[in-house]
Structure 1
Amino acid sequence: MVLVTPEKIAAVMALLPLPHSFAELDDRIAHGLPKDALKASVDRVLLAGEDRKKLLYRIVPEATYKRRRGTLTADESGRAERLARVFATADYVWNSEDDARAFLSAPHPMLQGRTPLDVSMTELGARRVEELLWKLYYGLAA
């Protein structure tokens, strides 16, 4: 049973048409997502302008992002998908984009006082954040 579907992840990135399987989403990532997909994800995750720029440039360095034309590389696309996946999971768990943003931006003791957004900058860190979210969702000790 998949709770956070590829459609939900792709919707965070404003991808059209929406992929209907993880295989389809993976294929699109491997071929490079549109540059706008990353921007859409960052815009959904953070509302403050300066914070959005900082996050965007943590995922793709500023000079590289500005040089990049239509599509991101496969690695950059993977990082964009990871951000969208973590946000989609938080949105599912909290059932509110505002609460998801608040969770991702607040330091958490189970993450050594770091914010879930900061921890999720690596794939392993994103898995830790997702695990924490599912523990919260199912009412397990988190």
Structure 2
Amino acid sequence: MQVLKDRPTEALRIADLLGLANGVTDRISLADQVAHGLPADSARRVHDRLGAARFFRILPEATYRRVRRHGKPLTRETSEKLYEFARVYELALRLYRGDHERCMAFLEAPHPMLGGRAALDLATSSSAGADAVIDLLHRAEAGFAA
């Protein structure tokens, strides 16, 4: 099976969302970037895409303001939370064929297959939560979940 060079990989799509397109070439370089702390600009890019009310469900407003003010890389914990959101958002957006509002409607609504929790809240609670949402999205893509 040949990989198409003009189709970006999941890692590159996530990197683009986080504003890392120039420094990330694959999953390994993305993992290194997250481990060392995403740049403050990554938070700004996600904030600008989602709007304040949605973004502050992912990161506290005080954290965002501090990061913007000092311009230093995000902590590892904050970077991982933003990365987990980006993983879920990227997949959901792809499944919703680029329709940001429909994607966010899914992410914000409580879902019975997620224990009645919103995918956004579960995905940003832990990597295991993000994995649960991604599993649900893959099942929906395959036609096994609603």
Report how many residues are paired. 137
TM-superposed deviation, 1:22: 0.2
Q: Compared with structure 1, are the counterparts of its residues 69 and 109 closer, same or farther at alpha carbon in structure 2 (3 Å cutoff)?
A: same
What residue number does 2:74 align with? 72
* TM-score normalised by structure 2 residue count: 0.80
1:35 maps to 2:40? yes
- Name the amino acid aligned to 2:33: R
Q: Compared with structure 1, are the counterparts of its residues 100 and 63 closer, same or farther at alpha carbon in structure 2 (3 Å cutoff)?
A: closer
The 5-angstrom pairing of residues 44-59 of structure 1 reads: 44=49, 46-47=50-51, 49-57=52-60
Alpha-carbon distance in structure 2 between the residues aligned to 1:63 and 1:10: 21
TM-superposed deviation, 1:50: 3.0
Stretches of structure 1 lacking an aligned partner (at least 5 in a row)? none
- Structure with bigger RCO (C-alpha 8 Å, 6+ apart): 1
2:59·2:78 contact (CA, 8 Å) conserved in 1? Answer: no
Alpha-carbon distance in structure 2 between the residues aligned to 1:128 and 1:4: 21
The 5-angstrom pairing of residues 1-142 of structure 1 reads: 5-17=10-22, 19-44=24-49, 46-47=50-51, 49-57=52-60, 62=62, 66=66, 68-96=70-98, 97-121=100-124, 122-142=126-146
Q: Compared with structure 1, are the counterparts of its residues 79 and 5 closer, same or farther at alpha carbon in structure 2 (3 Å cutoff)?
A: same
Percent identity over the alignment is 33
TM-superposed deviation, 1:65: 5.2
TM-superposed deviation, 1:63: 5.1
- Name the amino acid aligned to 1:55: I
Q: Compared with structure 1, are the counterparts of its residues 109 and 4 closer, same or farther at alpha carbon in structure 2 (3 Å cutoff)?
A: farther
Structure 1 segments of 4+ aligned residues over 6 angstroms from their partners:
none
Q: Relative to structure 2, which stretch is displaced further, 123-132 or 33-42?
A: 33-42
Stretches of structure 2 lacking an aligned partner (at least 5 in a row)? none
